[in-house]
Amino acid sequence: MKAVLGSIGALLFSAAILLAGGGLLGTLVAVSAELNNFPLIAIGFLSSAYFAGFMGGCIFTPHLVKRVGHVRVFAALSSLVAACALSHMLFVNVASWAILRALTGFSFAGLYMLIESWINEQSPSEKRGQVLSIYRMVDLIAVTIGQFLLNAADPKEYILFSVVAILISLAIFPISLSTSKAPMAVTSTKLNIKKLIKISPLAVAGCFAVGLSSGAFWAVAPVFVQKLGYPVLMVSIFMSVVVFSGAIMQWPIGWLSDKIGRRIVIIFVSVGGAVSGLFLWQFSPDSISLMILGGALYGMFAMQIFGMSAAHANDYAMSDEFVSVNGGLLLIYGIGSVIGPSVAPVVMTFAGPSAMFAYTALIQFLLALYGIYRLTQRDAPKESNDYVAMPRPRAALLILRSDPRNLLRRKKRNKA
């Protein structure tokens, strides 16, 4: 485990800085839009625009990586996010912000794809759940820090958007100056959704469900708190509690999935997310304490679904498929996230702010039911052979063809 973490240390440091800025930007846009009197439907539309761009990033980033490499694409996309953040206060209207959110989504899709495929390549199958959980802990803790930065200045002013740009720019340094090996060269840039469904139907369903539910959560949860009559400080506290509680459960859930299987854990966290969503729906309007308790429970369960789904898919994928598999999963997530933020505001408009969590609970219950069905369709993957360090890109294709893990995975897939 120490060797694996050592190989991705600079990447995790860059990811932490990047995601702190991204976490602040996502909440800042929603809060600032509300303070600038954007309609609730328009705020949901901004999130849909983000994820429309996100889908584009999933499609085009593999081509960019194949052409110029992981590190250069990371630097280019980070620079684009920083420029978009600074542009929000230059053009304060729905149309301009929608364009900026689409460009930001495009960039973050590529950045997530780069980070997660890099981590998957460096992680042996029997440790992948734990390694991805550590990454998700870094992710969620960084996002938590970003939420508290929301209180550093007035969300309607330029300062916080400048802070975002500074953080995103600083994220380029650790990975650019790292002496660790970059991932092997990308040989496949095609996102084959049919093939991805064959690799892991449950992973595809899980990522789509996360898009429908968590996409809505990130889009309108800050507005949900504001609509209940609470100040901006309470927005950052609620969002931070959700994210931090999700972070502290990452490693235990990852460890558990390595021991008892990803599918059982996906079912467990889906049911937990649904139950906690119903709790928030019923009790969050009654008191701050119940809202915070419900948020903590929601984060503990709902924030685990995507990571477990990605780990489950990568258990069946071959080493040279990690970029395309993770890109496909992010694309599926993006499709769900275009839909979710458009549906949730309508539900909130007609049934009240807390009804958003009734919507997320329904999605997560349906995912749990599908997970139970998948348990009857295919055996869980066995542990892979001992981890083999990835070769230099020049020799990668030759060795990957004879890598016993890939041969075993091909046989399993053909039998599925």
What's the pLDDT tens digit per position in 193-233?
A: 788 888 889 999 999 999 999 888 988 888 889 888 888 78
Say what the pLDDT of residue 166 is. 96
Which two tokens mark 237?
């506290």
Structure tokens belonging to residue 384: 């892979």
**Angstrom distances, CA of residue 344 to CA of 76, 115, 213, 304, 350:** 33, 29, 9, 21, 10
* 109 and 210 belong to one structural domain: yes
Q: What is the pLDDT of residues 245-281, one digit of tens each?
A: 988 888 888 888 888 888 999 999 999 999 999 999 9
Is 241 inside any structural domain?
Answer: yes
Sign of CA dihedral 267, 218, 108, 248: negative
Q: Are residues 264 and 399 in the same domain?
A: no
Q: Residue 255 is encoded by which pair of tokens?
A: 């460890």
Residue 383 belongs to some domain of the structure: no
* 289 and 402 inside one domain: no
| Structure confidence at residue 185 (pLDDT) | 61
The answer to the question of residue 102 being in a domain is yes
Same domain, 327 and 395: no
Q: Which domain holds residue 64?
A: 2-174+191-375
Number of domains the chain is built from? 2
Answer whether residue 185 is part of any domain: no
The rounded distance, in Å, linking the Cα atoms of 35 and 383 is: 52
Q: Are residues 392 and 353 in the same domain?
A: no
Shared domain for 234 and 327, answered yes or no, is yes
Same domain, 283 and 251: yes
* Cα 412–chain centre separation: 28
Are residues 244 and 341 located together in one domain of the fold? yes
Judgement on whether residues 269 and 409 belong to the same structural domain of the protein: no
Does residue 94 or residue 198 have the better pLDDT? Answer: 94
Same domain for 405 and 369: no
**Looking at the domain assignment, is residue 181 inside a domain?**
no
Instruction: Give the end-to-end CA distance of the chain in Å, rounded to a whole number.
Output: 31
Same domain, 296 and 404: no
**How far is it, in rounded angstroms, from Cα 166 to Cα 252?**
33
Whether 380 is in a domain gets the answer no
Write out the H or E segment, with its range, that includes residue 338: helix 322-351
- Confidence at 3, pLDDT banded by 50, 70, 90: low
pTM, two decimals, is 0.71
Mean pLDDT (whole number) for 52-78: 87
Question: Is there a single domain that holds both residue 335 and residue 392?
Answer: no
The conformation of residue 403, written as its DSSP 8-state character, comes to: -
Residue at 225 is within a domain: yes
Q: How far apart are CA 340 and CA 215, in angstroms?
A: 6
Domain at 84, CATH number: 1.20.1250.20
| Strand (E) or helix (H) holding 293 | helix 288-302
State the Cα angle at 312 between 309 and 316, rounded to 5°. 140
Which tens digit of pLDDT belongs to each residue from 310-339? 888 878 776 666 667 777 888 898 889 889
Q: Which of 99, 60, 57, 107 is nearest to 81 (CA)?
A: 107
Amino acid at the residue 261 = G
